[in-house]
Structure 1
Amino acid sequence: MGLTDSLEKLMAEKQKRDSVSKLKNAGVNVSEDKSHLQHFATPGFAQAQVMAKVGKSQLDASTIKAIADSVLEQAQKTKDGDFSSIEVILHSQIAMLSTLSTHFMNKAIAGYDSGEVLTALPHIPNELAELSLKCQAEMRKCISLLHELKNPKKPSQFIKTYVNQQLNQLQVEQEQLKQKLEGGNDAPVEFRSERTSTTADPEMETLGTQHRGKNSRGKGKVKNECS
């Protein structure tokens, strides 16, 4: 590397340091470590941004990375068979939906009891009651899902019995076929098939029989006369 190349490299590094200093002075978080950038391509990265916004956290790379790592950790536990985090989520949703259902129903009852509300906004109590019922329906779904998670469905005894019968029948048929093949290895193979000849016209068949009978009797007479 020549002197000119060395000077250009030093100048480039100086410009880079100056740029980093300006960004830091402006309050921008600058890190030389770029490993966090891989999380931009990670599934769930967008949801991590939403969670950070809802939690009113700073939307910087370290915050998003921490949330994404936590989600991936929970996903790995589920993959390994640990569903405790999912159970906590379902229990939390059940409690939340139960609270919302009670809240909306109380509002609906207050609206039904208020003559002013029924006069000015008669549809409001009905809408609040419908929201309460929807929360109850979603809560029942969560309860059902939690029950299925704790008690996985198993095939009924009827299905087990049917499958076992089919397997046993298949084994019997295979054994019978095997015996037939083993017993028929030394037997001659016949390609002839028995056929019964038929005449297309029954009247012609009767006529032919009568004609043959006359000929045979005529030959007998001639033979006797000659003798």
Structure 2
Amino acid sequence: MSRNQAIDSLLDELEPMASAGYFVGLHIRFAAPLLTFQTYPQAWSDHYTRNAYALRDPMIAWGISRTGATRWSDIDLPDPFGILKDAARHGLVYGVCVSCGEISSRTVAGLARADREFTDEEIAAISGVVLRLHHVSQPPDTLTKAEIEALRVLASGERYAAGAVVLGISESALKARLSSARKKLFARTSAEAIQRAKDYRLI
């Protein structure tokens, strides 16, 4: 099973546990996650984005500052913008926050439901899935020299054919190196791989 398939399988486990939706930010570094998945209602997602709630959300603040799991109702951080009450008005009445990983590469997840609090058993199960998501999506600490060269030549503005000439390899070899780098960085495009490699100071 590939890493992407493993992630999809774990998200499939998570979905039925969150009847009102979930958000997962994997490996948050430099204030941005490597990967984000969410199934919250579109109206709430749009409202959340319009109001820049990510910068003020007590759930995110709790997840960045602490590890473990807590019900939203037990979060002891200020919520001056009333984000949790606003979430409840959008059907996200009860929730749980799970956080794991080093502060330099933190994973934060929020799951919600409308009918009741999450039980301790459910929180333990959710925590296990989030921890497995964190581990399976671990970004690479290094890329090979060949992958770095391929990303750098493309980042310099060269097209595939010209980049291959610069590196003294075939165009298909260049594309193979870029494909390998994309997989390691969970990137869909070479441009995304270049940006992530820069974010992680790999190039």
- The bucket for the TM-score relative to the shorter chain is under 0.3
- Between Structure 1 and Structure 2, the one with more strand by share is 2
TM-score calculated relative to the size of structure 1:
0.19
- Between Structure 1 and Structure 2, the one with more helix by share is 1
User: In terms of Rg, which structure is larger?
Assistant: 1
Greater RCO (CA < 8 Å, at least 6 residues apart):
2
